[in-house]
A = this chain, B = another copy of it.
Amino acid sequence: MSEALIRQRVEEAVKAIGAKDIEAIMSLYAPDIVSFDVGPPLGYVGSDRKRRAWQTVFAAYAGSITYEVGDLNVTTQGELAFVHSFNNVKGTLASGRTTDLWVRWTACFRRIDGVWLVVHDHVSVPADIEHGQAVLNLTPTTDPVR
């Protein structure tokens, strides 16, 4: 039951991102979310900063964003849940350049007043620490988690 509700929340989030619907995507997050986001800083607290982060992403793309969640794994008990997946972000930037990027996504949920909200998320790409590079060309097809 809880797993189905969580999966529904994730589906709603995917639709919200595709439609650049800021209110819809923000309904996913707890007010005091602690976010380890794909870009700097190391972390930030609060849905206001999460809102600004999504506004920046939405503004960076000229048109709609194609967002896809793959290999979604959900673990839940009582009022807690955590999920992880590989998420694909595709679109055309304002500069005209197209992007096609896979990120790793971990989200920790709590059911607060009956609603499943993300209280912590972690989004990243792997890094080549020795050379200071972000590794942006990986896909789950070449590297499945199953």
Contact B36 A128 (CB under 8 A): no
**Which partner residue on chain B sits nearest A97 by CB separation?**
B130
Q: In the complex, which of the residues A36, A42, A82, A86 has the most CB atoms of chain B within 10 Å of its own CB atom?
A: A42
Contact B75 A78 (CB under 8 A): no
Contact A82 B126 (CB under 8 A): no
Please measure, in the bound complex, the distance between the C-alpha atom of A142 and the C-alpha atom of B42, giving whole angstroms. Answer: 9
Q: How many copies does the complex hold?
A: 2
* Residues from chain B with Cβ under 8 Å of A124 in the complex: 36, 104, 122, 124-127
Residues of A within 8 A of B (CB): 34, 36-45, 73, 75-82, 84, 86, 101-102, 104, 106, 108, 110, 119-120, 122, 124-129, 132-136, 138-140, 142-143, 145-146
State the 7 A-B residue pairs at the shortest beta-carbon distance, nearest first.
A124-B124, A127-B134, A41-B143, A36-B104, A43-B145, A40-B126, A106-B122
